[in-house]
Amino acid sequence: MNKSRLLRQMSNPDWRVREAAAGHPEATKQVLLLALQDVEPAVRFAAAENPNASKHVLLVAMENEYWDVRAAAAAHSNATQSVLVKALLDEDWHVRAAAAENPNANEMMLLDALKDEDSRVRRAAAGNPNATEQVLTVAATDRNHWVRLVVAKHPNATEQVLLVAMLDKETSIREAAAEHPNATERVLIKTVKDKNLDVRHAAARSPNASEQVLLKAIRDKEFIVRVAAAANLNATEQVLLAVMQDEDSYVRLIGVQHPNATEQVFRLASIDEDESVRKAVAHNEKASIIAKIVGALGV
């Protein structure tokens, strides 16, 4: 579209025409600055959101009386340090939260945002995709439950951050740490010994669970934790041999059907007191002929 035409549209009496011009992908700085002075808030908002908005345009938008226009500027992908610093000092929490969420915010800005009186701003900072270990470690001890939960689920959470989360009094936060894809053996060893069933269950089914973690889980007093450990694809021969000692035949049945089951596991299962466990050996193509025969005969 001709740029002079966009300028003419900014004089149109219909605010919807002016809004379309302000949001146009070819809108120039001149068009956007005109739009930010428009009597209609929707036109100003469109200008603040326009992908062509420069630092100068966004700083002008930050002076707007409407918080949603300022929030749009604070959330903009072109927002610079000066725009974000201004936004983090805004009187409205929406604007401060938009700045705290912006991937352009640096570590110092996020640490400052974590001191905000409004938990929604702190939660936005904790959830920033570029949050560093230091930012997440500070946020992990926030007084607000939801801020801490965001940390425990954050993709950037390191072992150190998750270990802090494991000290949390809230079960949901410890469970989130146990379920985290970055959970290490140190984290899972703590979770598998947790007082809460859901947390221990999360550790037992973790794809990161080591042999040591699973051996602890298979000795759990709760059936559901032992089932999760027995079914975990990381289960080694040693884990599965421990599974075959379980008091519950269903847990043992999972062990004999496990893809990692070895001949030693099959031989134990072939003399199991439970018929369904023995039959599982007889029907398992990985088991040796001897184990199958013993399992089938129940001797």
DSSP string covering 108-124, please?
HHHHHHTT-SSHHHHHH
Residue 41 lies in a domain: no
Provide the CB-side half-sphere exposure for 133 (13 A, CA): 8
Query: So what's the pLDDT on residue 299?
Result: 47
Query: So what's the pLDDT on residue 289?
Result: 56
Residue 21 lies in a domain: no
Looking at the structure of the chain, the number of domains it has is 2
Residue 64 lies in a domain: no
* Residue 210 shares a structural domain with residue 243: no
* Residue 224 shares a structural domain with residue 210: yes
Q: Domain boundary at 234, 260, 285, which?
A: 234
* Claim: this prediction has a pTM higher than 0.75: yes
Residue 253 lies in a domain: yes
Q: Domain boundary at 234, 260, 277, which?
A: 234
Query: So what's the pLDDT on residue 288?
Result: 60
User: Domain residues for 254?
Assistant: 235-299
Q: Domain boundary at 199, 215, 234, which?
A: 234
Instruction: Give the relative orientation of helices 197-204 and 223-231 as an angle to the nearest 10 degrees.
Output: 10
Query: So what's the pLDDT on residue 267?
Result: 86
Query: So what's the pLDDT on residue 8?
Result: 87
Residue 259 lies in a domain: yes
Residue 37 lies in a domain: no
Residues with Cβ < 8 Å from 269, sequence gap 6 or more? 244, 252, 255, 256, 261, 277, 278, 280, 281, 291, 295
Query: So what's the pLDDT on residue 279?
Result: 84
* Distance from chain centroid for Cα 277: 39
pLDDT tens for the chain, 299 residues: list them.
567 888 888 888 999 999 999 999 999 999 999 999 999 999 999 999 999 999 999 999 999 999 999 999 999 999 999 999 999 999 999 999 999 999 999 999 999 999 999 999 999 999 999 999 999 999 999 999 999 999 999 999 999 999 999 999 999 999 999 999 999 999 999 999 999 999 999 999 999 999 999 999 999 999 999 999 999 999 999 999 999 999 999 999 999 999 999 989 988 888 899 989 988 887 766 656 555 455 555 54
* Residue 168 shares a structural domain with residue 228: yes
Residues with Cβ < 8 Å from 21, sequence gap 6 or more? 6, 9, 10, 12, 27, 31, 35
Single-letter code of the amino acid located at 14: D
Residue 139 lies in a domain: no
Residue 257 lies in a domain: yes
* Residue 225 shares a structural domain with residue 271: no
* Residue 194 shares a structural domain with residue 242: no
